[in-house]
Amino acid sequence: MQRKDLLGLKGVSKSEIDEVLLTAAQMKKILQSGNKKTPHLQGRSVVTLFYENSTRTRVSFDLACKYLSASSSNVSASSSSVSKGETLLDTARTLDRMEVDLLVMRHPMGGAPHLMAKHVKAGVINAGDGMHEHPTQALLDIMTINERFGTLKGMKIAIAGDILHSRVARSNIYGMTAMGADVHIAAPQTMLPYGIEQLGAKVDKTIDEAVKGASVIMGLRIQKERQSSGIFPSIREYHKFFGIDEKRVALAEKNALIMHPGPVNRGAEISSMVMSADNCVIDEQVTNGVAVRMALLFMLTRANN
């Protein structure tokens, strides 16, 4: 991977994604071995900046740094000088002058990591920017599918739910179509952004249409924190028309993978029965999240050497 930053999957090629998958597979072996400490990032420094809440992304980057022996530090909006009025760019310049090699950033505004990347020497990894992209999540999703099927080429993948607010959906549409998948999306009209099909996905009218014959069904979180009121009548109604339940799973291919980036609103996006089924790989996604982030930290620091 010959790039300073990873800001999104738009424009990222299949060969770059394949390289991430290969490296992540090696990192997963380290992760699951008895000794999780390796010198891959010895002498390197990483700062994670989280201006929005996170469990999976933040902890997995944090552990990835520790497992690869990087010097790392975490900054959150509430504990940083942002609370005293410091601008994003001044924070970025300050960290850059500390000779940080990589900045990992989550921000509620789309484009914030892109702005930062233009002004710092350090490489920048987008850990989720507003409603725009979440590239590391999509890469771990692609890894999880690729591990099971060996390819995404020609595979029907259904993504259902709050597409409008979902950076995960955008990055997955870019990444999965680059890998040759046939991506179908379904959402209530109020959660479907205008022109989304231009990103490469097919828009189906119902979730039943989207999941029919699919090899993968991915639910998305209803992002209450980004929604205005009245976007859907009730959780019960949402689940009835757009929830992933046993009846809908039966329309997909036998043993279709059930995925969700988390955190899950149980009983809204996915029924508890489906979440406990053998083909539900939400836990594998979490493990692969650490492996993918280990791979990206290693690949980007090497590219920026």
In the complex, the smallest distance separating the C-beta of residue 161 from ligand CP, rounded to whole angstroms, is 13
Count of positions on this chain that bind ligand CP (CB under 6 A): 10
Closer residue to ligand CP (CB): 184 or 260: 260
First to last CA, the chain: 12
Give the residue, chosen from 8, 113, 128, 135, that forms a contact with ligand CP under the rule CB under 6 A.
128
In the complex, the smallest distance separating the C-beta of residue 12 from ligand CP, rounded to whole angstroms, is 18
In the complex, the smallest distance separating the C-beta of residue 132 from ligand CP, rounded to whole angstroms, is 13
Q: Does 175 bind ligand CP (CB under 6 A)?
A: no
Alpha-carbon distance of 140 to 24, in angstroms, equals 9
In the complex, the smallest distance separating the C-beta of residue 60 from ligand CP, rounded to whole angstroms, is 8
In the complex, the smallest distance separating the C-beta of residue 54 from ligand CP, rounded to whole angstroms, is 3
Q: Identify whether the C-beta of residue 233 lies closer than 8 Å to the C-beta of residue 275.
A: no
Footprint of ligand CP on 45-104 (CB under 6 A)? 54-58
In the complex, the smallest distance separating the C-beta of residue 63 from ligand CP, rounded to whole angstroms, is 13
Closer residue to ligand CP (CB): 233 or 263: 263
* The 202-203 sheet, strands edge to edge: 202-203, 182-186, 156-160, 216-219, 257-259
Residue 74 vs residues 70, 81, 133, 215: alpha-carbon distances, Å: 13, 13, 21, 38
Q: Does 262 bind ligand CP (CB under 6 A)?
A: yes
Q: Does 110 bind ligand CP (CB under 6 A)?
A: no
Q: Does 137 bind ligand CP (CB under 6 A)?
A: yes
Q: Which stretch binds ligand CP (CB under 6 A): 11-19, 29-37, 64-72, 259-267?
A: 259-267
Give the amino acid at 170. R
User: What mask, x for binding ligand CP by CB under 6 A, covers residues 219 to 258?
Assistant: ----------------------------------------
Q: Does 288 bind ligand CP (CB under 6 A)?
A: no
Closer residue to ligand CP (CB): 58 or 156: 58
In the complex, the smallest distance separating the C-beta of residue 235 from ligand CP, rounded to whole angstroms, is 20
Which residues form the interface with ligand CP (CB under 6 A)? 54-58, 128, 137, 261-263
